[in-house]
Amino acid sequence: MLGILRALGTVVSAALRKPATVQYPTEKKQLPHRARGFPTLLWDFERDEPFCTGCQVCARYCPTDCMTVTMRDNPKYAEGKSPRRKIVDKFFIDYARCMRCDICVEVCNFDAIVMDNTWRSVELSRYDRQELVMDLDALLKPSRTGQLKDPFRDAMGVAHHGWAPRKAEEEKEKVAAAEE
């Protein structure tokens, strides 16, 4: 009977521990900084336009083929307000197809797309599947309204060919040159 008594002892000692339940939705777990929700586009507040130029690299690398991107000429470039020659015209992501693999973030040349790491991007129940196809406004909304406070945009090693690491390098060199 010793084994059964040991089992009962384990069970009783486990009962005295604090339960591990997090009572969703009244309490929500704290999402880590790198939590991978669905992709969203970033808004460039300095120049009042999206970072995205519509170059279609992300759409080409997407394994599930869930993005549709088109580009147009940027009127602000003609006015001299922005260095981007082209800007995104239409951008559709089908959240029902996206598998959140993070490849689009990795290959973007302009650091324009990130994975939304808030609860909002995970609680996506809809009654109709068509409502999960997000257009440009819906994709820019979290960044524009300031909900997306702290996306995960650290340098992603050599695999990341984005614009920001190059810029950061150039800044560092400029600062080092200025110090000399």
Partner 1 sequence: MIGNNPWLDGILRLLVVAVAVPLSVIVLNYLERKVIGRVQNRLGPMRVGPYGTLQSVADTIKLLTKEDVRPSTADQWSFELAPYVVVVPTIVALVTVPIMPDLFIRNLGLGLFFIVAVSTVPIVGFVMAGWGSDNRYALLGAMRSAAQLISYEVPLILAVVAVAMVAHTADGGRGTLNLTEIVDGQDKVPYIFWQSLAFFIFTVAGLAELYRHPFDIPVAESEVVGGPFVEYSGMRWAMFQLGEYVSLVLISLLGALVFLGGWNWPLVNELAERNAVAGTALQAVLMLGKTSFFILFFFLMRAAMPRLRVDQLMAFSWQVLLPLSFYQIIVNGLVVVYGWPDVVLGVLSGLGLLAGSALTYRAVRKPTMVRRPRPVAARQGSEVKV
Partner 2 sequence: MAVQPPERELETLDLYINVGPQHPATHGVFRMVLTVDGEVVEDCDPVIGYMHRGNEKLPENCDYRQIIGYHDRTDYLAQFNTEWTYCLAVEKLMGLEVPERAEYIRVILGELNRIASHLMFMGAFGTDVGFFGTSFMYTFRERETIQDFFEAVTGERMMYNYFRPGGVAWDVPDDFEEHARYVLDRVRTAIDDIDGIMTENEVFLARCRGLSPVTPEQAINWGFSGPMLRATGVKHDLRRAEPYSIYDRFDFEIPVGTQGDVYDRYLVRLEEMRQSIRIVDQALRQMPKNGPIMASGLKRTIRVPPGEVYARTESPRGEYGVYIVSKGGDKPWRHKVRAASFCNLSALRNMVVGNYVADAIIILGSIDIVLCEVDR
The residues binding partner 1 (CB under 8 A) are 1-2, 4, 7-8, 10-12, 14-15, 17, 19-21, 23
Cα first-last separation, the chain: 80
Give Cα 86 distance to the centre of its chain.
22
| Burial per residue of 94-111, b for 16 or more beta-carbon CB atoms within 10 angstroms, e otherwise | bbeebeeeeebbbbbebb
- The entry of partner 1, partner 2, none near residue 176 (CB within 5 to 8 angstroms by kind) is none
- The entry of partner 1, partner 2, none near residue 15 (CB within 5 to 8 angstroms by kind) is partner 1
Between 159 and 176, CB nearer to partner 2? 159
Nearest to 51 by CA among 130, 168, 118, 139: 139
Task: Compute the chain's Rg from CA coordinates.
Answer: 23
**Least distance in Å: CB of 18 to partner 1?**
8
Nearest to 68 by CA among 85, 50, 49, 88: 88
Residues in 147-166 at the binding interface with partner 2, rule: CB under 8 A? 152, 154-161
Between 1 and 175, CB nearer to partner 1? 1
Print the binding letters for residues 55-94 with partner 2: x by CB under 8 A, - otherwise: ------x-x-------------------------------
Contact between residue 147 and residue 93 where contact means Cβ atoms under 8 Å apart: no
Among 36, 49, 87, 111, binds partner 2 (CB under 8 A): 36
The Cβ of residue 41 has, within 10 Å, a number of other Cβ atoms equal to 26
**Least distance in Å: CB of 15 to partner 1?**
4
Which positions touch partner 2 (CB under 8 A)? 1-4, 6-7, 9-11, 14, 20, 31-36, 61, 63, 99-103, 106-107, 115, 117, 152, 154-161
